[in-house]
């Protein structure tokens, strides 16, 4: 309104000068008045900028961001074009300020603001959202395009060198960012929900390790129907399911069908349940099976149901069909890691018994193969027994009792799964040898972690079953967007867990 009045005054003065013969003192006064009006108009522009600009970074501020979001979203809806929002956070910035001080933190904020500003388009709107958070409004841009821009910013900042002084020494520093992307209309149609979805995607980027860009997983469909088909709901597969449910509950539009067999070896039942999942009209199916799933995958491909395989790196599939993604960990490497752990426990010298899974099954074979490859390099480590316990705790307890009677000098027992290792723990306690024999498992199930905390089980390999579930359902949701690509193979990291670090995983 003020700006409008200044413009009118200037126009009236110009009109007076033009249409009337104004001379002498009156002309001088009108010219001075016109100059004052021009000065006031310039000052008003400066004041408006001060209201809308963040004083530290020179970017737009939080208030102006919200004003722009209303206007830009309204335009996008009216003229039917895409609009994306990128939320950005500097990784571990509080820790950076604690280590190097807020003055250097302010320099970093200004430099990062400059990098971002020089790497976006002239019509994009970048704001300091608050603290170390930034928000970028990208008109005429969808989810995929926004990810490309966010990735460009992430790489540009990661390769920029910063310097700080700590304890009197100059240090070369690397700063990274995490970013979350959400788009109109794919992920949301209102301002508040678009911000919320971008913020959740940012949280996901942090959860997946930081220095990362993630898109919102909320699809345009009312709901996504996903069938989870493990061999059985053992502790391991229950943990995978827990991860799936955590993400599904957070997203809110996932309908989950859980179709699990009654045992690891109930193969006919598993086949029937997978066929049932396909007949239920699901959007995607997650399969973990030791049987040939060729016919199931072929049928799913015909029905345009997306297939995801989890836990196994290799599967039987005749005829071969299309798998969207394998979500697994390297079972051969898992066996190698546990061999190195046992060698360290025994200091390279001792007698070891192995409890295998189901004979001729690939996961049991791979784990043992990796284990034996390492052990073979240590001649003072002797494998005195290696027997199948069929992934079953009761069978493992019984086998261990027999092994202990036959080989009383056993120093360590390696169960190729946590359930078998826990069965061995029970047998060792019954034989009154607790504390004398190291017992090691592999999976990272909750009950195994609790047993380690209680100093019963010596250790396990945490294969991150909960994370496998999280990764799988996120990959399923990403695959629902035509413009998003999903990796054909995603490996979950593994970690050896013992009494020293078990608290981190509980």
Residues annotated as part of the active site: 132
Phi and psi torsions of 417, nearest 5°? -145, 160
Cα gap 478→492, rounded to integer Å: 17
> Integer distance in angstroms from the first to the last C-alpha of the chain?
61
> Residue 329, Cβ neighbours under 10 Å: how many?
24
Q: List the beta bridge partners of residue 462.
A: 443, 495
Structure tokens belonging to residue 81: 């074009």
- C-alpha distances (whole Å) from 52 to each of 63, 66, 83, 280, 320 are 7, 11, 22, 54, 59
- C-alpha distances (whole Å) from 316 to each of 13, 172, 260, 265, 267 are 88, 50, 19, 16, 13
- C-alpha distances (whole Å) from 249 to each of 218, 281, 451 are 12, 21, 29
How many CA atoms, within 13 angstroms, populate the side-chain half-sphere of residue 2? Answer: 10
Cα gap 492→328, rounded to integer Å: 6
Burial of 76 (0-12, 13-18, 19+ CB in 10 A): buried
Q: Which residues contact 203 (CB under 8 A, 6 or more apart)?
A: 180
Which DSSP string do the residues of 400-455 spell out, in sequence order? HHHHHHH-TT--EEEESSHHHHHHHHHHHHHTT-TTTSEEE-SB--HHHHHHHHTT
């Amino acid at each position: 309104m003020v700006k409008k009045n200044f413009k009118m005054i200037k126009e009236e003065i110009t009109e007076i000068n033009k249409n009337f013969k104004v001379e002498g003192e009156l002309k001088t006064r009108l010219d001075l008045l016109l100059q004052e009006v021009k000065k006031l108009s310039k000052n008003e522009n400066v004041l408006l900028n001060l209201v809308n600009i963040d004083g530290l970074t020179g970017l737009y501020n939080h208030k102006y961001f919200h004003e722009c979001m209303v206007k830009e979203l309204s335009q996008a809806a009216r003229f039917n074009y895409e609009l994306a929002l990128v939320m950005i956070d500097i990784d571990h910035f509080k820790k950076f300020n604690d280590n190097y001080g807020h003055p250097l933190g302010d320099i970093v904020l200004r430099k990062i603001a400059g990098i971002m500003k020089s790497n976006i388009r002239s019509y994009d709107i970048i704001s300091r959202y608050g603290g170390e958070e930034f928000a970028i409004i990208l008109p005429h841009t969808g989810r995929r395009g926004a990810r490309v821009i966010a990735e460009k910013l992430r790489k540009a900042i990661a390769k920029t060198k910063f310097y700080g002084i700590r304890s009197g020494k100059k240090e070369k520093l690397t700063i990274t960012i995490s970013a979350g992307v959400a788009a109109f209309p794919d992920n949301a149609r209102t301002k508040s929900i678009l911000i919320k979805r971008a913020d959740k995607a940012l949280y996901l980027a942090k959860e997946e390790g930081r220095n990362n860009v993630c898109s919102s997983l909320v699809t345009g469909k009312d709901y996504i129907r996903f069938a989870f088909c493990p061999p059985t709901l053992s502790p391991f597969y229950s943990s995978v399911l827990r991860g799936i449910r955590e993400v599904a509950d957070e997203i809110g539009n996932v309908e989950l069908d859980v179709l699990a067999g009654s045992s690891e070896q109930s193969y006919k039942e598993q086949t029937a349940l997978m066929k049932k999942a396909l007949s239920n009209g699901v959007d995607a199916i997650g399969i973990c099976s030791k049987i040939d799933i060729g016919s199931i995958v072929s049928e799913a491909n015909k029905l345009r149901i997306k297939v995801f395989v989890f836990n196994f790196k290799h599967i039987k599939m005749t005829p071969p069909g299309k798998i969207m993604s394998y979500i697994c960990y390297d079972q051969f490497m898992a066996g190698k890691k546990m061999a190195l752990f046992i060698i360290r426990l025994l200091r390279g010298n001792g007698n070891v018994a192995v409890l295998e899974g189901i004979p001729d099954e690939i996961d049991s074979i791979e784990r043992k193969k990796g284990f034996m490859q390492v052990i073979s390099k240590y001649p003072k480590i002797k494998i005195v027994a290696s027997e199948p316990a069929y992934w079953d705790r009761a069978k493992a307890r019984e086998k261990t009792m027999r092994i202990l009677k036959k080989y009383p000098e056993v120093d360590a027992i390696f169960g190729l799964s946590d359930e078998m290792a826990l069965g061995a723990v029970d047998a060792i306690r019954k034989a009154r040898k607790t504390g004398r024999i190291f017992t090691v498992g592999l999976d990272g199930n909750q009950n195994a972690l609790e047993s380690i905390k209680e100093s019963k089980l010596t250790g396990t390999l945490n294969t991150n079953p909960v994370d496998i579930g999280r990764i799988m359902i996120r990959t399923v949701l990403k695959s629902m967007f035509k413009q998003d690509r999903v990796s054909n193979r995603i490996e979950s990291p593994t970690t050896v867990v013992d009494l020293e670090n078990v608290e981190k995983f509980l």
